Structure 1
Amino acid sequence: MTVTVASACWARGRPTLVAVPDILAAGVVVFRPGREVLLVHRPKYDDWSFPKGKLDPGEHSTAAAVREVAEETGVHVRLGPPLPAQRYPVARRMKTVHYWTGRVVGDDDVTAYRPNDEIDAVAWVPLEEAVGRLTHDHDRETLAAARRVRRKSRAVIVLRHAQARSRSAWRGPDAGRTLLKAGELESQRLVPLLAAYDVTRIVSSPSTRCVQTVRPYAEVAGCPLDLRPPLSEEHATPAGVGEVVDELLSGDAGSVLCTHRPVLPHVYDALGIDVDPGTGLEPAEMLVLHVRKGRVIGVERHHPR
């Protein structure tokens, strides 16, 4: 994130203002059935809050959010709709915390959690009680925002393939065009982002550059690749793309659809969403749609850089 805090330095005997980057962190407001939310107690500050923590160097905020919940509570979660970020001063800097709602994947039991110096208590708390237990006003505001979108949803992700070799430099059928080294790195960096949304279904154009983009995640997650010719540049039609999209919207799994820039308008039309052509997806960028009962209730965009 770009900086907005200024720090005084001296140049030629005069003070100058130098931009100081925000401390970046990520967290999750985790819900479970029964109208309960997951809270943690930090002995250092003697406060009750949501599980959160600073990003590791080079880490994406979505991956950090899921990792921090696992480290602080022992619970694995998948991200739901995003929430407004928190921003507040910490010592002489500003801190920005990106938040999502979340749902548990697997066991939600926290009774076996072992207290430590960082987190000495983890508890599922009824929503009405949580309002009073939270220590900070900004956390109560985040909880209020989360309650408005807390109902269970799943992610349908539209992904443009990673950086590929240029058409002019490629010899052979365009469908066989491969990723650049930079694109291969992007495909690896996509793995924790897709995992953060618990993607278990992978639908892709059969073109090599698309397959190479999603294969690293498929191998890590143990998910098969579902290759669909209607998602390729050569065979895309509005009807064919619409059939694939309808199938994903009506399903019950977190899913990703990997395709090409010229095919994306067909995907957007099938989804019933407006995307400004001037702000189209970059290579390896993903559009995350949060879907409940076939209806899109939230949208966000992420790039693995």
Structure 2
Amino acid sequence: MAALIPPRSSSRSSASAAGPAQPPEASGPDVVAAGAVVVRKGPAGREVLLVHRPKYDDWSFPKGKQDPGEHVTTTAVREVLEETGVEVRLGRPLLPQLYAVSGGRAKKVHYWVGHVVGDDDVSGYEVNAEVDRLGWHPLDEAAQRLTYLDDLHLLEQLREQPRPTSALVVVRHAKATKRRDWDGPDPRRPLLDVGEQQALDLARVLAAYGVSRVHSSSSTRCTETLRPYAEEQVLPLEELDELSEERADSEAAATLLHTLAAAPESSVVCSHRPVLPSLLAVLGVEEEPLSPSELVVCHHRRGELVATERHLPSQLG
């Protein structure tokens, strides 16, 4: 299974000649941030989008701190838009950066490859106190301009697989009414209130990956999990018996997954805990059982699995 390598320590801080300094006692919670290495095909090859921050006089990739209650995938997309004016969807994940900041706290920055959605022209961006210069740069030129060694590591990761990938998201339905508390047919068992909120949180994560094809088990608890996203994005929600618990069809489900994995668009498939292991096995992925509304993002390039991620969109439940 393709997977992320564990985080690497940042090279932004260094030890003194007398030996490593003892870290100061942390004065607050750790900092979480997110960003993207945004790439496009330029006249002479691949280009990446860099920003200059006058406060630090550095050139880096767009990124920023996570807002309270915000999922890191949403943070990455929002920060790119705020710092460059460019809308992106997230591609494959890159190694996160981890380093110390003021007060003895740790800062972890999550990164993805970012693919432009719509216009990639940044000439109309209104520069400000946070970003006073920005622009597209060929990869070799970007390597000369970037300030931090860690960002050069990100650029090298992009070089390893610069072409776009598509995401196939496999999700377990949100928290539903318990079987013992439901008198009707089990396939019609609905979500609880907490499950409805989980579905809303899930919609924000799916939006970050630019999901444009929505497939669900025909059971109510699955369709209700994806309906907020489908309605928000004005997308058809395809209900499939072969993804349901009662009428699961492994051969038909495998055909569907292979088709979606080979497609250039990003997709989501929602099913049930007993069915999910067989679906993930078709994709060559092994995972521990998912919690309600938890998801695995499988990044493919022409049907080949490139990387995987696992996310829990909501802390409710």
Cα distance, 1:170–1:7 mapped onto 2, change above 3 Å:
farther
- Of residues 210, 214, 238, the one that matches 2:222 is 210
1:211-226 equivalences under 5 Å are 211-226=223-238
**Alignment partner, residue 78 of structure 1:** 89
CA deviation after TM superposition for structure 1 residue 284, in Å: 0.2
Instruction: Say whether the 8 Å CA contact 2:263–2:302 is kept in structure 1.
Output: no
**Alignment partner, residue 14 of structure 1:** none
**Does the alignment pair 1:116 with 2:124?**
no
Structure 2: which amino acid aligns with 1:38? L
CA deviation after TM superposition for structure 1 residue 240, in Å: 2.1
State the SS of the aligned residue for 2:180: coil
Mapped to 1, the partners of 2:137 and 2:196 lie a distance apart of 43
**Alignment partner, residue 286 of structure 2:** 274
Mark the runs of 5 or more structure 2 residues left unpaired by the alignment. Answer: 1-21
Mark the runs of 5 or more structure 1 residues left unpaired by the alignment. Answer: 9-17
Select the structure with the greater relative contact order (CA < 8 A; seq sep ≥ 6): 2
**Alignment partner, residue 106 of structure 2:** 94
State the SS of the aligned residue for 2:184: coil
TM-score of the pair, normalised by structure 1: 0.91
CA deviation after TM superposition for structure 1 residue 246, in Å: 1.9
CA deviation after TM superposition for structure 1 residue 7, in Å: 6.1
Cα distance, 1:242–1:107 mapped onto 2, change above 3 Å:
same
Identity %: 52
**Alignment partner, residue 51 of structure 1:** 62
CA deviation after TM superposition for structure 1 residue 206, in Å: 1.1
Structure 2: which amino acid aligns with 1:76? E
Cα distance, 1:45–1:7 mapped onto 2, change above 3 Å:
closer
**Alignment partner, residue 300 of structure 2:** 291
Structure 2: which amino acid aligns with 1:238? S
Instruction: Say whether the 8 Å CA contact 1:81–1:149 is kept in structure 2.
Output: no
**Alignment partner, residue 10 of structure 2:** none
Mean alpha-carbon deviation: is it higher for 209-218 or for 80-89? 80-89
Note the alpha carbon deviations across 1:142-196, whole angstroms, 9 max, x for none. Answer: 2112221321111000010001111111111000001111111100011110001
Mapped to 1, the partners of 2:284 and 2:106 lie a distance apart of 38
CA deviation after TM superposition for structure 1 residue 237, in Å: 2.2
State the SS of the aligned residue for 1:107: coil
Mapped to 2, the partners of 1:282 and 1:169 lie a distance apart of 20
Note the alpha carbon deviations across 1:34-54, whole angstroms, 9 max, x for none. Answer: 210000000111110000000
TM-score of the pair, normalised by structure 2: 0.88
